[in-house]
Structure 1
Amino acid sequence: MADLEFHREGHIAHVRLNRPQGLNAITPEMDQAMYDAWREINADPDIWAVILSAEGEKAFCIGADVSGGTDRDGRMALAGGLTGIGGPLVTCRKPMIAAVQGFCVGGGFELAMCADIIVAADTTQFGLPETKVGIIGECGVVHRAVRQLPYHIAMALILTGERIKVAEAARYGLVNEVVPYSDLAEAARKWADKLLAASPLAVQAAKDAALGRLGYPLDVALATRFEAIEAYEAAADRLEGLAAASQRRKPVWTGR
């Protein structure tokens, strides 16, 4: 079995870390496989949603595999570029659900925060242990945490290296749903089905707009013209949405 599994199920792409014996720490070979997966996902118009998951109950991911040292040669950012840690940032344009469990720490925590929706098993613990073990790099896995969590909560994680359990993370809005580990895959699939019920092109345009002006003042974001949204005006799915509404039926999306 490959350390990184990638397959399609209808309109859903599954990307699964499969190295439970190493707590799903990401090797350079896994980085490359993930990079190839993100490229294919972005390029394939028939992929409308992504589920990111990991094998084994003990850990979703503990970050980069540093068993051979901390120098990864800067070949690409962690997780095939998705995190932007250690190299150029690669953006997944399709909506992504992360299904996490056990230890979700360091670069693994950063990877989960790259998703748009997080479903967590009740066994999950989140943390940024870098300062505690003295291996923090120039960038550090800190920037998403301080944007996605309340400032004092994020800074406590960053500065102390301590972990928080999933119930506490849920209180801070970090995760969308907490379920027993046995229900994790089913819960992620239900979220994917919710995404598939929406217009795929509208979803992708909305994600592009939201992330494209995330760090800008509101007045700048409101004044921005977004190419993906403007292109959607001519899409067949937009016309299908209007027709379905007038005919009081469910739309049948084509992603075109």
Structure 2
Amino acid sequence: MEIDFQTEPQRYKHWHLRLDGRVAHLILDVDEDGGLFNGYQLKLNSYDLGVDIELNDAIQRLRFEHPDVSIVLLESANPTVFSSGANIRMLAGASHAHKVNFCKFTNETRNAIEDASAWSQKTFISVIQGTCAGGGYELALATDHILMADDGSSSIALPEVPLLAVLPGTGGLTRITDKRKIRRDIADVFSTLEEGVRGPKALTWGLIDQTVPPSELAGVIEHLVCQLEEPPDTAGNRTGIILKPLERNSSDRTVSYSTVRVDKNRTGRTATLTISGPQSAAPENNDALSASGAAAWVLRCARELDDALLHLRFNEPDLGVLIFRTEGDSATALQHDAFLNQHAEHWLVREIMLYWKRVLKRIDLTSRSLVAVIDPGSCFVGLLAEIMFACDRTYMLMGQLDGDPRPSPVATLTTSNFGPYPMSNDLTRLQTRFIGQPSAVTELFDLIGNPLPAQTCLDLGLVTFAFDELDWEDE
């Protein structure tokens, strides 16, 4: 069965998204019989990949379609269970590759919540009533504030170690110690308690932020929302844009979008992703970008590339090498790149840049061999150059190909390569590339805006190999 990562609120099986002014209620209500695969039921608000696909979609829509929402309440429709975490029977029947990619996607979604908290003026609050265990608590840990009913039965737990002899795989122990700053001995004890802990002890240990008697829960939530409702960025009204469904055509050998094409070579076990640069000039101003909405090249390309990467991760495990190519006019791509950097304070530009940051991290963390090919017609410039820096190795043609009138390929650095799109280690890809030569990054900064031919790129360490026409096809 092919997994589709495209959805919308009208199609959700497991979540309800309800808007109340600047407050959004994101309510988990898992359909037991709505699992992505056969052979298990999603009891006790447990989740599989399908549940998280919807959660990821909801977070994206809150950022792009509802920018004025400043509070997101993460709740459960079941008063006795917040969430029991990842479905064990689903995991038992899954392949190793699916388990790895499931955990990776789940954690990327939790990271997206934290990213929205840090950069999109949204505060996420978990409201826990009933059991909150395993991945359910890991989901709560990704939010800014954990509110728990003090009713004698609500509890939190990371029972993976005592019950399954596995570590919490989507950030549980990491977020307890590194984010909530819990003492490591307490974290050790907590993660070995099968039954978990209830309100008072959870509060004393710092595992939650607040306990409330059930009779006072609604009032406390209302008070908390009133305290937090005004976002830091209150300049003007922000009108959201609609994330329309992607146009995608698929066959056994290709997946094509408007700006991305995936060609699959099953014999060679490779997939070539060709990214088309913009065909028209950058927007004149922020209003023009907003009017274009999801059709704007820079957002459309990010969404299509994201979908293609997820498709390859989950649906094509045997394609072990991903080859990245670009095509288009470098000057036009540089215009769009400059527009983003010049208007980065505008909410929509900021969200697009943050989305590209997440997509590029998705490339970084895709467990395949990644190769970039720079040949005539390529436009690895600025933002798109980040893709080649995310790859394991890069091949660049020196000069032109016989019979091809297009000019020799070049790469161009911009400010996009020096800060806006950090990796998971909070370093830029160039800083990571030259981790032992920090002075090299400083030297590269002085070359911003210069078209760099193959030999120069090779000398500067920006590409792995540079070949002339004679050796190009062989290599």
**TM-score (ref. length: structure 1):** 0.68
CA deviations over 1:222-256 (Å, ceiling 9, x no partner) = xxxxx9xx959xxxxxxxxxxxxxxxxxxxxxxxx
Whole-angstrom distance in 1 between the partners of 2:44 and 2:105:
16
**Other-structure match for 1:16:** 27
1:3 partner amino acid:
H
Q: Specify the SS of the correspondent of 1:91.
A: helix
Report which stretch shifted further, 114-123 or 169-178.
Answer: 169-178
CA deviations over 1:4-27 (Å, ceiling 9, x no partner) = 111211011111111386221122
**Other-structure match for 2:282:** none
**Other-structure match for 1:69:** 91
**Other-structure match for 1:36:** 57
Question: Are 2:130 and 1:102 equivalent residues in the alignment?
Answer: yes
How far did 1:130 drift?
0.5
1:23 partner amino acid:
L
Q: Specify the SS of the correspondent of 1:98.
A: strand
**Other-structure match for 1:218:** none
Equivalenced residue count is 202
Whole-angstrom distance in 2 between the partners of 1:170 and 1:20:
31
**Other-structure match for 1:58:** 80
Question: Are 2:122 and 1:92 equivalent residues in the alignment?
Answer: no
1:98 partner amino acid:
S
Whole-angstrom distance in 2 between the partners of 1:13 and 1:101:
18
Whole-angstrom distance in 2 between the partners of 1:134 and 1:124:
22
Contact kept, 8 Å, 1:16 with 1:55, in 2: the verdict is yes
How far did 1:35 drift?
0.3
Contact kept, 8 Å, 1:98 with 1:188, in 2: the verdict is no
How far did 1:161 drift?
3.9
**Other-structure match for 2:328:** none
Contact kept, 8 Å, 1:50 with 1:96, in 2: the verdict is yes
Question: Are 2:170 and 1:142 equivalent residues in the alignment?
Answer: no
Change beyond 3 A, Cα 1:37–1:117: same
How far did 1:103 drift?
1.1
| 1:168-207 paired onto structure 2 within 5 Å | 168-196=201-229, 198-201=230-233
Question: Are 2:112 and 1:81 equivalent residues in the alignment?
Answer: no
Contact kept, 8 Å, 1:57 with 1:181, in 2: the verdict is no
Contact kept, 8 Å, 2:155 with 2:197, in 1: the verdict is yes
Whole-angstrom distance in 1 between the partners of 2:206 and 2:124:
17
**Other-structure match for 1:210:** none
How far did 1:77 drift?
4.1
Report which stretch shifted further, 145-154 or 19-28.
Answer: 19-28
Q: Which one has more relative contact order, counting CA pairs under 8 Å at least 6 apart? A: 1
Whole-angstrom distance in 2 between the partners of 1:152 and 1:80:
24
Say what the alpha-carbon RMSD is for the aligned residues: 3.0
- Structure 2 unaligned spans of 5+: 1-11, 33-42, 235-340, 347-475
Whole-angstrom distance in 2 between the partners of 1:192 and 1:40:
21
**TM-score (ref. length: structure 2):** 0.38
Whole-angstrom distance in 2 between the partners of 1:181 and 1:20:
26
Question: Are 2:57 and 1:46 equivalent residues in the alignment?
Answer: no
Report which stretch shifted further, 163-172 or 129-138.
Answer: 129-138
Q: Percent identity of the aligned residues?
A: 24
Whole-angstrom distance in 1 between the partners of 2:168 and 2:197:
24
Q: Specify the SS of the correspondent of 2:127.
A: strand
How far did 1:182 drift?
4.3
Whole-angstrom distance in 1 between the partners of 2:105 and 2:84:
12
**Other-structure match for 2:274:** none
**Other-structure match for 2:15:** 4
**Other-structure match for 1:223:** none
